[in-house]
Amino acid sequence: MEKTQRAVSREYFLLNSNTEKKRVCQKFVCATLSITFPVVNNALKNYNDFGMYTGIDGRKGQVAWNKLPLEKTNKVKNHINLFPRVESHYCRRDSSKQYFSPDLNISTMYRLYCEQIRTENCMLSPEDQEIPVNINIYRKIFNEYRPKLGFYMPKKDQCTKCNIFKDASEEQQNLLRPEWEQHKEREKEAVDSKTEDKQKAIENKGVNFRSITFDLQAILSLPYAGDSQIYYMRKLSAYNFTIFENPNAHGYCYLWDDINGSKGSFEIGSCLLQYLYSLPDSVSHVSTFSYTCDGQNRNKNVAVAMLYAVNNIEYIYKHLQIIDMKFMDKRKRETKHNIDKSERQTKMVLFREVLFTHDEQIALKGMNKLCNDTNKLFSKHMLSLKNRMEEWAVCYRKNCFTHGHNTNNIIESSIRIFKDIVLERCKAFNAAALVDFVFKNLHHIE
């Protein structure tokens, strides 16, 4: 057999610490770069005069063995499209995101998807039956769906300007600070005006003057899904327009569904007219507070409705002479005693110490601190409850024995009810509401 000479001989070099080329063997190069010889050989065979790799993928367009078939992907998307979308009460106007009912989640949707596959397989032969994708693939297709999808969960309104300022960088905050400070000043003016009107209504005892706040609550989808088939049906949207009246702290609810109306300004104006019509003849001045939602509260339709009530003084609304329409700056939620969100956790910890301690001195010390709070409304409310601590504080109830048993039943029941009903939902309550709950409800278990 005749031997042939090589057309090309390869030499391999690596740079040392002094950037000098040192000749090495092929195995040393592969071990240093942690690659195999076919990789080196393919790279050297397929480079041009400029040192660029010009090779092509040798797999010749073969589909990866673990790639999900397009038919299964479309099957999952078609199943997702079976669920009706719901409108979000807090969705931005320019948002393209779509929402599902709050009683849905990905796990529930995947369970229904598997049930659908099993139902379809019952009508097919064993070799034609389909295997459902796993939940991770279902979740991946859901997350990559366009437009984006989500599950609508009612939540508290947040101030857009405050969130923008909070999330901005330090440099951006310096630019936004003047506008943000003006926003906070307007917010304080609105809160002060609301407090003044509330106090004015209390002093007047509601004879001639009433102060109200109104808002449309989050949309409620009905019915709540308990059967798998209900998930695929369009829900009935229920709207609840609420009015809170001072000084008597009465609440009014106007409920309707999307068959009888929408959530626009005409419905809001109609509810306000109905409320004004129910006022006593002695009330001549009403002050209203609401958020700056142009589509519902702050618009010409609601203003015309209020003007209609004042102008019809000789016919329907004989008593009304003045209606003040005041708006809170953006959407700023106010608690019953104007407690800021950042202060709630501190007040919660202090109140829990007052409630559960067995030492009367510690309880009184904590209660005095609550009574001396800088928030005048909150401190006034705490002061009115201080004289009733015997009704709800554990330190005053530790010697109570009931039912003839040598056990502190009232203490055990008090703590159980308080933990189960209130503390697990502490984010939805401020400290004043917690105290109200304790002394109003614990006497029912004695």
Give SS3 for 167: helix
Q: Tell me the average pLDDT across 154-170.
A: 68
Closest-CA residue to 329 (of 192, 156, 172):
192
Is the torsion defined by CA of 440, 442, 445, 446 positive or negative? Answer: negative
Compute φ and ψ for 359, nearest 5 degrees: -100, 120
Check residues 214 and 183 and name the one with the higher pLDDT: 214
Q: Tell me the average pLDDT across 333-356.
A: 69
Are 311 and 238 in contact by the 8 Å Cβ rule? The answer is no
Question: For strand 98-100 and strand 21-24, is the pairing parallel, antiparallel, or unpaired?
Answer: unpaired
Q: Nearest 5 degrees, angle CA 130-CA 132-CA 138? A: 145
Average pLDDT across the chain, whole number: 78
Residue 37 has pLDDT above 80, yes or no: yes
User: Which residues are bridge partners to 12 per DSSP?
Assistant: 24
Q: What is the pLDDT of residues 277-311, one digit of tens each?
A: 888 888 889 999 988 776 778 888 898 888 888 88
Query: Within a 10 A sphere around the Cβ of 109, how many other Cβ atoms?
Result: 22
Residues 277-313, buried b or exposed e (16+ Cβ, 10 A)?
eebeeebbbbbbbbbebeebbebeebeebbeebeeee
| 31-to-15, 25, 26, 418 alpha-carbon distances in Å | 15, 10, 9, 68
Q: What is the pLDDT of residue 171?
A: 83
Q: Which of 127-131, 296-300, 391-395, 431-435 has the highest mean pLDDT?
A: 127-131
Q: Which residue has the tokens 């509260």?
A: 297
Residue 78 has pLDDT above 90, yes or no: yes
Are 400 and 408 in contact by the 8 Å Cβ rule? The answer is yes
Residue 163 has pLDDT above 80, yes or no: no
Q: What is the pLDDT of residue 209?
A: 93
| 104-to-163, 191, 268, 297 alpha-carbon distances in Å | 28, 38, 30, 31
Q: By mean pLDDT, which of 119-128, 131-140, 230-239, 256-265 is the weakest?
A: 230-239
Percent helix, strand, coil in the chain (nearest 5)? 45, 15, 40
Give SS3 for 157: coil
Instruction: Tell me the CA end-to-end span of the chain in Å, nearest whole number.
Output: 110
Q: What is the pLDDT of residues 321-343, one digit of tens each?
A: 899 998 886 554 555 555 666 67
**Which run of H or E residues covers position 441?**
helix 431-441
| 89-to-104, 155, 260, 299, 403 alpha-carbon distances in Å | 17, 9, 18, 18, 50
Give SS3 for 191: helix
Are 156 and 218 in contact by the 8 Å Cβ rule? The answer is no
Q: What is the pLDDT of residue 94?
A: 52
169 band by pLDDT with thresholds 50, 70 and 90: confident
Angle between helix 360-371 and 341-356 (nearest 10)? 150
Q: What is the pLDDT of residue 403?
A: 41
Spatial separation of the C-alpha atoms in residues 167 and 200, rounded to whole Å: 39
Q: Tell me the average pLDDT across 386-392.
A: 76
Spatial separation of the C-alpha atoms in residues 312 and 182, rounded to whole Å: 39
Domain ranges of the chain: 7-62, 70-153, 177-328, 343-442
Q: What is the pLDDT of residue 1?
A: 45
421 band by pLDDT with thresholds 50, 70 and 90: very low
Compute φ and ψ for 285, nearest 5 degrees: -135, 125
Give SS3 for 402: coil
Q: Which amino acid appears at position 160 of this protein? A: T
Per the structure block, which two tokens stand in for 196? 């003044």
Query: Within a 10 A sphere around the Cβ of 100, how many other Cβ atoms?
Result: 22
Q: Nearest 5 degrees, angle CA 302-CA 306-CA 310? A: 165
Q: What is the pLDDT of residue 24?
A: 92
Spatial separation of the C-alpha atoms in residues 162 and 431, rounded to whole Å: 24
Q: Which amino acid appears at position 80 of this protein? A: I
Spatial separation of the C-alpha atoms in residues 285 and 175, rounded to whole Å: 42
Q: What is the pLDDT of residues 189-220, one digit of tens each?
A: 888 888 899 999 999 988 899 999 998 887 77
Q: What is the pLDDT of residue 95?
A: 62
Per the structure block, which two tokens stand in for 36? 């195999």
Residue 424 has pLDDT above 50, yes or no: no
102 band by pLDDT with thresholds 50, 70 and 90: confident
Compute φ and ψ for 65, nearest 5 degrees: -65, -25
Q: What is the pLDDT of residue 3?
A: 57
